[in-house]
Amino acid sequence: MHSDVKQVLFTEEQIKARVRELGAQITNDYKGKNILLCGILKGAVTFFTDLARCIDGPVEFDFMVCSSYGASTTSSGFVKIRKDLDSDVRGRDILIVEDIIDTGVTLSKLKPLLLERGAASVKIATLLSKPSRRKVDIPVDYNGFEIPDAFVVGYGLDYNSRYRNLPYIGVLKEEVYSH
């Protein structure tokens, strides 16, 4: 375990097993469909690549970069698209892939946007969800794990751009924040 981490919430093995379950569920639900898998960079990248390999069926990849302002305090947080999808989404079955849903503001803006653009369907897969932090009610179609209101890192999630490469999900020691 990294010396900055005080507790491992989910081990590499636990994550792998859960991602396999989600992949099987998605495979079953999307039979006969061609999924446009949309990863929200950067945090989702690890989950995205693992989940994609657990889906048995046709999948295309696309990515977005978003940032939100005011999301932690208000449901009317502003979400800026820093990099848009390359694909024309009209008539496509989109599965948005996120690492974590916190306030829900990011997805509450993205989902209607993709539907407005003419997507046939838009569903959401997230590795982690913090329901106690929700400001906007957003239906989550595939959820890896519900977690309490603790700041977690690893498996794509960062603190100050670090720890994304940890293979597990962990809680940082308080002293790491106070420096």
Ligand X SMILES: O=P(O)(O)OC[C@H]1O[C@H](OP(=O)(O)OP(=O)(O)O)[C@H](O)[C@@H]1O
Ligand Y SMILES: Nc1nc2[nH]cnc2c(=O)[nH]1
Closest CA to 179 of 154, 157, 162: 162
Residue 106 binds to ligand X (criterion: CB under 6 A): yes
Residue 50 binds to ligand X (criterion: CB under 6 A): no
The 121-129 sheet, strands edge to edge: 78-83, 59-69, 35-41, 93-101, 121-129, 142-146
Residue 153 binds to ligand Y (criterion: CB under 6 A): yes
Would you call 102 a catalytic residue per the annotation? yes
Q: Which does 71 bind (CB under 5 to 8 A by kind): ligand X, ligand Y, none?
A: ligand X
**Residue ranges in 155-174 that form contacts with ligand Y under rule CB under 6 A:** 157-159
Among 26, 52, 102, 108, binds ligand Y (CB under 6 A): 102
The Cα angle at residue 52 between residues 92 and 78, in degrees rounded to 5: 60
Residue 40 binds to ligand X (criterion: CB under 6 A): yes
Closest CA to 63 of 77, 47, 46, 44: 44
Summarize as ranges the residues that interact with ligand X (CB under 6 A): 40-43, 67-68, 71, 98-106, 158
**Active-site residue list:** 102
